[in-house]
Structure 1
Amino acid sequence: MDRDLLVAAHRLIAARVRPVYAMNDTQPVSRTLLLERGSCSQRLAVLEAVGRACGIAGRVRGLLVSGRFWHPRFPRLRALVPRQVVLAWPEFLLDGEWVTVSELYGDLSTLREEEAFTNIGGETLFDAVARTAVDWDGVTASSCDLSGQVLADLGYFSSRDALFRAHGQTLCSPARITADLVMGRRSA
């Protein structure tokens, strides 16, 4: 039942919160909902908040991902893409087991049969989990394997706020504010 609730929430967020290239990973969920737009990370934060509000325990896994992962999405802006990006990847406690957001719609071995996420076009990681495997650990041994993009596993944190307190956001405040002004309304 909790999984169904999270899947329904994921679908609702995908339908109601427009994906954009925002940079503030600690933006309050209330602000994302008010603006009706958010980055992949900000939309995942909304899903985490829904889970907590419904009594579903959650945590995030911190990953340090290579900036090259985003080069296909920003081919003309490669020089501006950071060399590494701190990524908060949510997990939910469902039926006594931690389930990554990658497996809300099914296990990775089943989802890997779909076309892989390419990070090109309008689909974000948030959207991709609904149709394909997003495999940060290399367990699928398929085109869905993104483990080669992971520079470091930062471990598990009780919340995304705890992760970003410990490791900071990808961009420093002045760069993040400037980038948000330029990119924050641009559709993904």
Structure 2
Amino acid sequence: MTSRLLMPVRSRGTAPAGVPEPAADPTPGSTRATAILDHGHPLVAALAARAARGGRTDRDRLRAAHRLIVAGVRPVYSVEDRRRASRTLRLGRGSCSQRMAVLEAVARSLGIPTRVRGLLVDGSFWYPRFPRLRPFVPAEVLLAWPEFRLDGGWVPIAGLFDHAGPSREGGFANTGAETLFEAVARTGVDWDAPAACDGTSGACDLSAHLRTDLGRFTSRDELFGRYGQTLCRPARTLAEPVLGRWSAGAA
């Protein structure tokens, strides 16, 4: 059983009222700075400048930025999804959500519009990471899945990388040191395919873990402003000092 006691009241339930149909959602995205995506900060601007030297195309630059973030920001289990991208860079550690925010901030600094898809993912997806803490894992986790405007279309973060065939290491298992942020560069990650992920195909299908698709939002600020974060404020206050320094994959 997963926990609902630690979740904000407004995010409980599997089908929030007023959710738009994803297929008809015209969300445009943006390049402007936000409270989370503070791309005018010198740390974000410096990272964007380094990424800009990583290739001729926007896709190449985003891949370069991803590599720089993987190399420079240690993966941890921080629960503060609204943390500024600049603070994540200054700390040198961040959760998947926080490091995705850094990538979005860099993209916007480079003039590449971004938006996010709001996903409510079953808490059991994180059981392999917290085998002894299952009763405290939230019933569902709110995930802001980034999308980037490239070549006239919207490309999800996993689509930035080429996955021509099955990964030799298999699909994403959500265990060990590799997190979703690293995995997208190695294997496909798909929240829409019809069958459960078994790690045998080039695209790792995670659709069986998806509870609710909340649609697209111009920014993660907008998503979290409407639905709140995964944990309520008291739970975040108590958990962050420990989880915010707990390295992914550490015993």
Aligned residues of 2:116 and 2:144 also touching (Cα < 8 A): yes
Please report how far the alpha carbon of residue 140 of structure 1 lies from its aligned counterpart in structure 2 after TM superposition: 7.9
Q: State, as a whole percentage, how many aligned pairs show the same letter.
A: 62
Pick one of 122, 144, 160 that aligns with 2:177. Answer: 122
The one-letter code of the counterpart of 1:63 is L
Please report how far the alpha carbon of residue 139 of structure 1 lies from its aligned counterpart in structure 2 after TM superposition: 6.2
1:101/1:12 CA distance change after superposition, 3 Å: same
TM-score of the pair, normalised by structure 2: 0.72
Residues 7-57 of structure 1, C-alpha deviation per residue, up to 9 Å, x if partnerless? 000000000000011000000111101100000100000000000000000
Partner residue in 1 for 2:35? none
In structure 2, stretches of 5+ residues that fail to align are 1-56, 199-203
Partner residue in 2 for 1:174? 234
Aligned residue pairs: how many?
185
Please report how far the alpha carbon of residue 69 of structure 1 lies from its aligned counterpart in structure 2 after TM superposition: 0.3
Aligned residues of 2:196 and 2:207 also touching (Cα < 8 A): no
Please report how far the alpha carbon of residue 183 of structure 1 lies from its aligned counterpart in structure 2 after TM superposition: 1.1
Pick one of 29, 42, 46 that aligns with 2:85. Answer: 29
- For 1:87-166, list aligned pairs within 5 A: 87-106=143-162, 110=164, 113-114=166-167, 115-138=170-193, 143=198, 144-166=204-226
Aligned residues of 2:123 and 2:139 also touching (Cα < 8 A): yes
Residues 92-123 of structure 1, C-alpha deviation per residue, up to 9 Å, x if partnerless? 0000010000111125xx35x11100001010
Q: Which has the larger radius of gyration?
A: 2
Partner residue in 2 for 1:64? 120
Pick one of 91, 94, 97 that aligns with 1:41. Answer: 97
Aligned residues of 2:196 and 2:206 also touching (Cα < 8 A): no
Please report how far the alpha carbon of residue 154 of structure 1 lies from its aligned counterpart in structure 2 after TM superposition: 0.3
1:102/1:140 CA distance change after superposition, 3 Å: farther
Distance in 1, matches of 2:183 and 2:195, equals: 16
Residues 117-169 of structure 1, C-alpha deviation per residue, up to 9 Å, x if partnerless? 00010100000001001111116875221001000000000000100011110
Pick one of 70, 75, 87 that aligns with 1:14. Answer: 70
In structure 1, stretches of 5+ residues that fail to align are none
RMSD, matched Cα: 1.3
1:163/1:106 CA distance change after superposition, 3 Å: same
Distance in 2, matches of 1:104 and 1:130, equals: 8
1:77/1:133 CA distance change after superposition, 3 Å: same
Please report how far the alpha carbon of residue 181 of structure 1 lies from its aligned counterpart in structure 2 after TM superposition: 1.1
Moved more, 8-17 or 142-151: 142-151
The one-letter code of the counterpart of 2:96 is C
The one-letter code of the counterpart of 2:119 is L
SS at match of 2:69: helix
Distance in 1, matches of 2:160 and 2:132, equals: 34
**Structure 1 residue 82 corresponds to structure 2 residue 138:** yes
1:141/1:72 CA distance change after superposition, 3 Å: closer
The one-letter code of the counterpart of 2:147 is E
